[in-house]
C-alpha cells in the first residue's frame, strides 16, 4: 500500500462539539423532533452497524454481497480500466474488496468516512488485500463538498461508489441534491455506482429494521449514549425505545426514538421536554422501484445505464452517467 495506514486526510468538516450541540438543539426544537442519522456513526455505532449486517433479518447486506459475487466481474468490466474509485461512507469496505478484486489497474481508492476509527481499520484491511493499490483515505462528511486527494496518476474516469442502501436515507429531494453533488465530483467522463434497495414485501422490509436480537434497537439508542458522552447530556436510555415501521404511502421505513414517559433532558445549558409517546425521527430508508429511481436520477441530470440485481431480486446496484454523455 502506498500510504501509511494511519495517514488520513481530514477535510476539517467533522463538526466540533459546539457545532454538534447546535445541530442537536435545533433538531430537538423542531416539530416534530428529529436528529440527523449520521449521529449513529461514532466508533460504537459503527461497530453495532457491522453487527446489524450479520443479522438474519437484514437482507440488504446479504443480497448485495450475493449480487457482487455473481456480477462483480461484469460491473468491473463496465467501469473499465484505470479508474479512480471514490467510496462514500466506506465503513469496513467488505463489498469494495469484492469489486476491486475484478478491476483492471485501478488508479487509486479513496474511502470517504466520517468516523476515523472505522476508516483506519478499513485502510489496514485494504492494504493487506491489495498491497499495490494506492489508497487515499479522506475523513469527511460525504454530504458536503469534498476536496478529493490528487491521484497518483491520471485516471481514465472517476467513479463515485455508494454501496449499501444509504441513498435511501435521504428524502427524494435530498437524494437529488446529493446525486447532483456526485455528478460534479465525478467529472465529465465519470460515473456513479450506487446501491438501491428495491420495493418488496412489507413484512420482509420491517423485519430488517426490527431484528429479534435487538441489535438495531441498541444501534438506535446508542445515538443518545453518544450525545451523553460527547455533550454531557443526561438522556436515560431506558426511557426511550426504538421504533421502525414502513410508511407505504411514502415508500420508506421511518425509524424513531420514542419517549416512554414525560421527561426533561439536559442539553447544554437548556432542557428539552419530551411528552409520553413523543417520537424523535432519526432515520428514513426509502425503497424504490427501478422506474422510481431512474426518474430520481433524471432530476439530477443523470441516466441509468445498467442495473444488476441479486438472485432474490430484492436489491440492485445501478450504474449512472451524465444524461446524454458519450462516456458509455
List the grid coordinates of 206: 420491517
How many other CB atoms are found less than 10 A from the CB of residue 77? 13
Question: DSSP 3-state assignment of 19?
Answer: helix
Give the span between the Cα atoms of 192 and 300, in whole angstroms. Answer: 12
Question: DSSP 3-state assignment of 9?
Answer: strand
E-assigned strands of 276-314? Answer: 279-286, 302-309
β-bridge mates for residue 264, sequence order: 273
Specify burial of residue 291 (Cβ count, 10 A radius: 0-12, 13-18, 19+).
exposed
Give the span between the Cα atoms of 289 and 296, in whole angstroms. Answer: 11
> What is the tally of structural domains in the chain?
1
CA-based nearest residue to 162, from 60, 108, 67, 89: 89
Q: Average pLDDT for residues 153-177, to the nearest whole number?
A: 96
pTM of the model as a whole: 0.88
pLDDT at 51: 95
Interval 283-318: pLDDT, tens? 999 999 999 999 999 999 999 999 999 999 999 999
Domain extent, residue 151, equals 59-200+287-322
**pLDDT exceeds cutoff 80 at 327:** no
- The answer to whether residue 136 is domain-embedded is yes
CA 280 → CA 3, 79, 219, 270, 273, distances in Å? 42, 41, 15, 18, 12
- The answer to whether residue 212 is domain-embedded is no
- Dihedral of the alpha carbons of 148, 67, 70, 191, in degrees to the nearest 10: -30
How many other CB atoms are found less than 10 A from the CB of residue 201? 9
- The answer to whether residue 274 is domain-embedded is no
List the grid coordinates of 221: 439508542
Specify burial of residue 198 (Cβ count, 10 A radius: 0-12, 13-18, 19+).
buried
- The answer to whether residue 29 is domain-embedded is no
pLDDT at 326: 56
Q: In this structure, what CATH number is given to the domain that contains residue 169?
A: 3.40.50.150
* Mean pLDDT for all residues in the chain: 92
- The answer to whether residue 86 is domain-embedded is yes
- The answer to whether residue 167 is domain-embedded is yes
Q: Do residues 142 and 42 lie in contact, with contact meaning Cβ atoms separated by under 8 Å? A: no
- The answer to whether residue 264 is domain-embedded is no
How many other CB atoms are found less than 10 A from the CB of residue 234? 13
- The answer to whether residue 151 is domain-embedded is yes
Amino acid at each position: 500500500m502506498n500510504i501509511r495506514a494511519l495517514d488520513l486526510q481530514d477535510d476539517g468538516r467533522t463538526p466540533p462539539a459546539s457545532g454538534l450541540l447546535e445541530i442537536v438543539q435545533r433538531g430537538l426544537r423542531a416539530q416534530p423532533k428529529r436528529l440527523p442519522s449520521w449521529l449513529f456513526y461514532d466508533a460504537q455505532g459503527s461497530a453495532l452497524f457491522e453487527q446489524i449486517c450479520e443479522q438474519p433479518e437484514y437482507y440488504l447486506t446479504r443480497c448485495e454481497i450475493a449480487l457482487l459475487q455473481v456480477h462483480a466481474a461484469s460491473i468491473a468490466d463496465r467501469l473499465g480500466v484505470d479508474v479512480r474509485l471514490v467510496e462514500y461512507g466506506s465503513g469496513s469496505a467488505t463489498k469494495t474488496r469484492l469489486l476491486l478484486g475484478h478491476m483492471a489497474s485501478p488508479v487509486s481508492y479513496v474511502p470517504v468516512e466520517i468516523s476515523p476509527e472505522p476508516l483506519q481499520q478499513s485502510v489496514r484491511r485494504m492494504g493487506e488485500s491489495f498491497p499495490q493499490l494506492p489508497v487515499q483515505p479522506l475523513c469527511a462528511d460525504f454530504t458536503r463538498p469534498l476536496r478529493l486527494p490528487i491521484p497518483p496518476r491520471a485516471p481514465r474516469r472517476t467513479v463515485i461508489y455508494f454501496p449499501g442502501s444509504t441513498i435511501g436515507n435521504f428524502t427524494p429531494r435530498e437524494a437529488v441534491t446529493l446525486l447532483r453533488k456526485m455528478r460534479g465530483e465525478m467529472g465529465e467522463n465519470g460515473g456513479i455506482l450506487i446501491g438501491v434497495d428495491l420495493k418488496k414485501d412489507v413484512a420482509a422490509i420491517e423485519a430488517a429494521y426490527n431484528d429479534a436480537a435487538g441489535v438495531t434497537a441498541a444501534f438506535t439508542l446508542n445515538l443518545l449514549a453518544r450525545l451523553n458522552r460527547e455533550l454531557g447530556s443526561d438522556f436515560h436510555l431506558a426511557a426511550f425505545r426504538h421504533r421502525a415501521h414502513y410508511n407505504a404511502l411514502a415508500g420508506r421505513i421511518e425509524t424513531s426514538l420514542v419517549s416512554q414517559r414525560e421527561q426533561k433532558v439536559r442539553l447544554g445549558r437548556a432542557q428539552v421536554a419530551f411528552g409520553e409517546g413523543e417520537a424523535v425521527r432519526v432515520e428514513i430508508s426509502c425503497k424504490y422501484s427501478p422506474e422510481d429511481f431512474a426518474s430520481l436520477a433524471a432530476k439530477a441530470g443523470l441516466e441509468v445505464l445498467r442495473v444488476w440485481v441479486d438472485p432474490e431480486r430484492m436489491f440492485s446496484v445501478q450504474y449512472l452517467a451524465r444524461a446524454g454523455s458519450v462516456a458509455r
